[in-house]
Homo-oligomer: A and B are copies of this chain.
């Protein structure tokens, strides 16, 4: 007989299938379709595995970082993906995502509901070294993806390279070498014309 606990866990595992159909602004590398939040999360988890040594704080817990990036976007199943540069969308993002977290993590048995809700909140608030490193990866990956997919997802978005640098430069406090790589990629992207020109550059 199936336990109530397993039934709850499987309800959650079936529910999260939906994240594969939540699409982001950017595309996959062959530009055939938008990237979804599930494969984005997978990419971050492998980045955490490979790049953990670049954390300025040597005490980060890689398993916790991986857990965070795997689940960080689940709230988008209800709340949708909000583009980093969308000011009006970001105004009520927290409220929408809080409701989504309550429903989606609420499918799980109490102990796992508590663990995953807390990990999500910690990520969202960047309130620990693990969460800061996870946020650094989450901000680094789109820059790389934009570069690899010829600017798809950022071209025509009325965004200057200065705005990108402003949003992302916190990476430098958390993982200096990764910020250096990210910044170089922003510069190469600028040379290739992915961003709107500054007033002074026109």
Contact = CB atoms under 8 A, between A and B. Distances in A.
A21 interface: yes
Contacts of A19: 39
A20 B35 contact: yes
A23 to B, nearest CB: 10
A113 B140 CA distance: 23
A83 to B, nearest CB: 19
B41 A70 contact: no
Interface residue tally of chain A, by bracket? 35 or more
Nearest to A28: B20
A96 interface: no
A91 interface: no
Contacts of A177: 2-3, 6
Contacts of A16: 43, 46
A17 B12 CA distance: 27
A17 B43 CA distance: 8
A192 B6 CA distance: 23
Interface string A42-66: 1101110111001000000011001
Nearest to A38: B39
A34 B38 CA distance: 14
Given A13-B144, A21-B32, A42-B45, 16 more contacts: A6-B54, A6-B181, A9-B50, A13-B47, A16-B46, A17-B29, A19-B39, A20-B29, A20-B35, A20-B39, A21-B29, A41-B42, A45-B45, A45-B70, A49-B70, A63-B63
A-B pairs with the 10 shortest C-beta distances? A42-B42, A38-B39, A17-B29, A39-B39, A20-B28, A63-B63, A20-B39, A38-B42, A9-B50, A21-B30
